[in-house]
Amino acid sequence: MSEQNIFILGIESSCDDTSAAVIQNGTVLSNVVASQKIHEDYGGVVPELASRAHQQNIVPVVHQALEKAKISKHQLNAIAFTRGPGLMGSLLVGTSFAKSLAYGLNIPLIDVNHMQAHILAHFIKDDNSKKPPFPFLALTISGGHTQIVRVDNYFEMAVIGETIDDAVGEAYDKSGKILGLGYPAGPEIDKRAQLGNPKAFTFTKPKVQGLNFSFSGLKTAILYFIQKQTKADANFVKNNLNDICASIQYTIIGILIDKLKLASKTTGIAHIAIGGGVSANSGIRQALKDGEKKFGWHTYVPKFEYTTDNAAMIAIVGYLKYLEGNFAKADVMASARLKL
Binding site for ligand KG4 (CB under 6 A): 15, 142-144, 169, 172-173, 184-187, 190, 276-278, 280-281, 308-309
268, amino acid identity: G
Nearest CB to Zn ion, comparing residues 51 and 142: 142
Q: Where on the chain is the footprint of Zn ion (CB under 5 A)?
A: 142, 309
CB of 327 to ligand KG4, least distance (A): 26
Nearest CB to ligand KG4, comparing residues 77 and 147: 147
Asked if 243 contacts 200 with a C-beta cutoff of 8 angstroms, the reply is yes
Which runs of E-coded beta strand occur in the chain? 7-12, 17-24, 27-35, 78-84, 109-113, 136-141, 146-153, 156-162, 271-275, 298-300
Distances (CA, A) of 326 to 56, 187, 196, 319: 30, 38, 50, 10
The partner in contact with residue 127, picked from ligand KG4, Zn ion, none with C-beta cut-offs of 5 to 8 angstroms by kind, is none
The partner in contact with residue 90, picked from Zn ion, ligand KG4, none with C-beta cut-offs of 5 to 8 angstroms by kind, is none
The partner in contact with residue 198, picked from ligand KG4, Zn ion, none with C-beta cut-offs of 5 to 8 angstroms by kind, is none
CB of 304 to ligand KG4, least distance (A): 9
CB of 86 to ligand KG4, least distance (A): 9
206, amino acid identity: P
Nearest CB to Zn ion, comparing residues 107 and 313: 313
Nearest CB to ligand KG4, comparing residues 187 and 254: 187
**SS3 assignment, position 126:** coil
Alpha-carbon torsion angle 234, 239, 240, 245, nearest 10: 100
CB of 231 to ligand KG4, least distance (A): 28
The partner in contact with residue 173, picked from Zn ion, ligand KG4, none with C-beta cut-offs of 5 to 8 angstroms by kind, is ligand KG4
Asked if 8 contacts 69 with a C-beta cutoff of 8 angstroms, the reply is no
The partner in contact with residue 172, picked from ligand KG4, Zn ion, none with C-beta cut-offs of 5 to 8 angstroms by kind, is ligand KG4
Note if the bond before 85 is cis, omega within 30 degrees. yes
Asked if 144 contacts 15 with a C-beta cutoff of 8 angstroms, the reply is yes
Nearest CB to ligand KG4, comparing residues 36 and 308: 308
Nearest CB to Zn ion, comparing residues 61 and 179: 61
